[in-house]
Structure 1
Amino acid sequence: MSDSPAPERPLEQDVFDEWPDAVRALFDGLSLASKTGFTASLLTVDANGHVRTSLLSAGELYAPDSRTLCIALWPQARAARVVAQNGRAALSFVYGEAFYQVQLQMTPLASVAGDDSGLVYLVGSIDTAEAQSVRYARLTSGITFELQGEGKAVLDRWERQIEHLKQAAVAAGR
């Protein structure tokens, strides 16, 4: 038997079923201009077993409570069709120097009166989730973007989308 200390685990893994406070603040629908550039990947698996990815911004994600995430998708997005078929998706992103992957059970949300965006609204409950980081390297970003040209129009659209997600979540009792 050795007296040497146990080796350090290079991988830090935190499992959760409620949004950590900092992540919930990221998805609170507020101060969207300061969250421009954040990108999350919504992963789905279609009927042929192909993994499909939809990239989402903070203007398409809203957490009405600690265990839920509402998502706005364009109706032509493959993820919208796949989620309608199987009700499952995974959201992955980098935030706060960690890689997050959240397994979601998804259901559709009803349309909101006065919303002519054509967007599909979904609500997901956290099934399982984890955040991973390592001591020897610091994650500084994942997929990021810059708004160009019509940036103000995009931010205005995001504000409307988040408002519609909020209304749909309330109507669904979330």
Structure 2
Amino acid sequence: MSLDKEIKLRYRFYKVSEKSIPLLLENFAELKEKLDSDYKVKILDNHVWLSIGMLKREKHSPQLHIEFEEMEDGKTAVNGLFGPDPVLWTMFMFLHFIVGGTFIIFSLICYSKWRLNQNFNFDLTIMLSMIVCWVALYLFARLNRKKGIHQMHELEEIINKII
């Protein structure tokens, strides 16, 4: 898996398992009891969330969401999605909405001042600073993802043992 070279911030994967969904869920339930302190496992229907435990968790620690789907030939399709901690993801989305909203508001003000032949340098400065903030948020997200790649590999090893 080339996690280091992926452009996407949230890495997805697809695998096929010979095991049935109930057997996979049972294996994850056993794993939940074994790895209680190092990893956190949540199971709901055909979904499993696997994350780093509180003792090893960092702000950049990933979370893995796995969904099981039964295939026609009796095998199980395993869809996985690595992502950041939901609290961190919510904060990033909130900051993106603030930056985007500020950019739109100041672009409207800038356009109005331009049409009225007034000075709009301050508004352009704010718009450019919002672009810089957006790029900084993106780079910070990439840096956090890069720091969490070794933990992504840990989670993937656990999944490969079970699947």
TM-score of the aligned structures, taking structure 2 as reference length: 0.30
Q: Which structure shows the bigger proportion of residues in strand conformation?
A: 1
| Structure in which a larger fraction of residues adopt helix | 2
